[in-house]
Amino acid sequence: MKRVITYGTFDLLHYGHIELLRRARAMGDYLVVALSTDEFNWNCKQKKCYFPYEERKRMLEAIRYVDLVIPEENWGQKATDVEKYHIDTFVIGDDWSGKFDFLKEKCEVVYLPRTPEISTTKIKQDLQK
């Protein structure tokens, strides 16, 4: 069984996120999503989530491509997660291109093209119009 992991906030979930999850899952048989906690988002990513962690987790768990949701609590947990969950492939959008190459010692690292025309920021701006 080929196991894949990805990380993110997934707040105001949209089809760009779904497309990432679909492609990530297609790279293996099992997809783990490490979901940024509210504290990690606020303290380390300067993101204030609209939906709290438990709601974002519930939505991700309802997506057919997602097999397991775990908390992302800090930047440094990835290498441990890869071992703990026996991950074969780490996947994330290419806005992070090169940032996680250190994981190549432990697993395959894949940066996927983002869905260009959609973002949470754009949604919020469009709703202001």
Q: Closest residue (Cβ) to ligand C2G?
A: 93
Q: Which of 4, 9, 33, 103 binds ligand C2G (CB under 6 A)?
A: 9
**Does 114 interact with ligand C2G (rule: CB under 6 A)?**
yes
C-beta atoms surrounding 94 within 10 Å: 11
Q: Which 49-108 positions form the footprint of ligand C2G (CB under 6 A)?
A: 72, 92-93, 95
DSSP 42-75: HHHS----SS-HHHHHHHHHTSTT--EEEEE--G
Instruction: Please identify, using beta-carbon distances, which residue of 10 and 53 lies nearer to ligand C2G.
Output: 10
Instruction: Please identify, using beta-carbon distances, which residue of 7 and 53 lies nearer to ligand C2G.
Output: 7
- Strand arrangement of the beta sheet that strand 108-112 belongs to: 68-72, 30-36, 3-8, 89-93, 108-112
Binding region for ligand C2G (CB under 6 A): 7-10, 16-17, 20, 36, 45, 72, 92-93, 95, 114-115, 118-119
